[in-house]
Amino acid sequence: MDTTNRKPSHTARLTTGLVTFLIAWLLLIPSATAQLDALIADRAAEIEDKVIAWRRDIHQHPELSNREFRTADLVAEHLRALGMEVETEVAYTGVVGTLVGGQPGPVVALRADMDALPVVEQSDYSFRSTVRTTYNGLDVGVMHACGHDTHVAILMGAAEILASMREEIPGTIKFIFQPAEEGAPPEEGGGADMMIDQGVLADPEVEAIFGLHITQSWAVGEVGFRPLGMMASAERFDVIVKGSQTHAARPWAGVDPIVTSSQIVMGLQTIISRQTDITLAPAVITVGTFHGGVRNNIIPDDTTLTGTIRTFDPGMRDSIHERMRRTVTNIANSAGAEAELIIYPGVPVTFNHEELTARMRPTLERLYGEANVLEAPRITGAEDFSFYQEEVPGFFFFIGGRPADVPASEAIPNHSPRFYVDEDALLPGVRAMTTLAMDYLGAE
């Protein structure tokens, strides 16, 4: 029977209409993910004023590495009020809060660094720092010139939102507030590696960790990261050159460590410019201090150089170490001097776990918009978040803190006494840390 022109039956028409209606109705119902995003956005908006107040309070009362006593007390009190199990004095002043969700699942960690820098603030904030303290025997100003005040406030905000959602969390979240990211006093140690040694990633065992850093390299509403090596390893080195003291009018009667050290400085620069294949990865050797002598007409017995090495590749790092030793030793020997090169362990490469980065990218694209999720260039600055990434998969990203109407050419770098942050960046940061945790744990 030919049915080409046959009209559909009444039942068929009803079925088709019902399916069309159901599809349209379902399209109007937000997905579980959209509902979660909306819930987090609403709760973040509710606490925005608190996050800003925390940030300003911490900014006005900055503390140097391993001296973050007031900041740690503020954080610990907040986490306890949220009903978390709280551990204090981890790696001197670190605070760890543990939030056990209402459903079983994996363990994820969120980290913020707390320390400030020995910098005299030159901003016009009403809440600018006027704190002074002693650092390396010197009277110095103290300033949150790297934005760690915002990191702490953002994570405090994320903790409050996540604690309010405890029953919906399928797993456990650790909130790690870390001291001494900028570098602990050498005689004390501290920072991420000490926190790890004291068990911050254990009991319960952390499966993945997330961290952020604010910067004016990007505008508010932008976020940047790259998989694999993103920030350089950083190692301090010392060169101690021993000559032979003599009158400056009779240099031939001794061995001049100042001239020898000057030749070593220049020789070290040729390791990068003439001996290293920088098409493979960038590398830097910088001499930052040069000390020697006490009087204009005396050639001293010795001099001391200090500097930093930045690399992105472990093999290249080892090669540079070998070349530095050869350069320092041979130049000193050629002058009749002796030289000792000391390279300290330093901080590893900040290495974003490739699979974890790919998995969490859609989260940031959902929150910031795909066009605002940017690939970060390699950065020769260093971050001790890298120690966590050596132990568990980690994802570290940058959030923009530059006002949208300020061009990138006028961005103020971190560690500048004029560094400032547009506080419109705080709320997206809170949402990002909160949502990354929930998405990783599998909440839908």
Pair 230, 351: CB distance under 8 Å: yes
pLDDT band with cut points at 50, 70 and 90 for residue 443: low
User: Distance between CA atoms of 43 and 51, rounded to whole angstroms?
Assistant: 12
Residue identified by tokens 């705080």 is: 426
Q: What is the mean pLDDT of the chain?
A: 93
E-strand ranges in 254-393 read: 283-292, 298-299, 302-311, 338-343, 350-352, 373-375
Task: Give strand ranges (E) for 121-280.
Answer: 132-135, 138-141, 170-178, 208-219, 223-225, 228-231, 233-242, 246-247
Cα–Cα distance, 63 to 129 (Å, whole number):
10
pLDDT-wise least confident of 21-25, 248-252, 258-262, 433-437: 21-25
In DSSP notation, 248-294 reads TT-GGGSB-HHHHHHHHHHHHHHHHHHHS-TTTS-EEEEEEEEEE-S
User: What's the pLDDT score for residue 345?
Assistant: 87
Residue 351's contacts (CB-CB under 8 Å, 6 or more residues apart) are 228, 229, 230, 386, 389, 390, 394
pLDDT in the model for residue 1: 42
The CA distance from 159 to 173, in Å, is 9
- Cα(413)–Cα(417) distance, integer angstroms: 9
Rounded to the nearest 10 degrees, the angle between the axes of helix 148-164 and helix 69-81 is 10
E strand intervals along 60-188:
85-90, 94-100, 103-113, 132-135, 138-141, 170-178
pLDDT digits (tens, 9 = 90+) for 140-193: 999 999 999 999 999 999 999 999 999 999 999 999 999 999 999 888 999 999
At residue 6 the predicted structure's pLDDT band, cuts being 50, 70 and 90, is: very low
pTM over 0.75: yes
For the segment 333-359, the average pLDDT, to the nearest whole number, is: 96
Residue 102 tokens read as: 């209402």
Residues 72-100 pLDDT 10s = 999 999 999 999 999 999 999 999 999 99
Model confidence pLDDT, tens digit, residues 251-286 = 999 999 999 999 999 999 999 999 999 898 899 999
Beta bridge partners of 107: 172
Contact call for residues 398 and 377 (beta carbons, < 8 A): no
Among 14-23, 196-205, 393-402, whose mean pLDDT is lowest? Answer: 14-23
Q: Which domains does the chain possess?
A: 32-231+349-441 (3.40.630.10), 233-343 (3.30.70.360)
Nearest CA to 223 out of 45, 436, 43 is that of 436
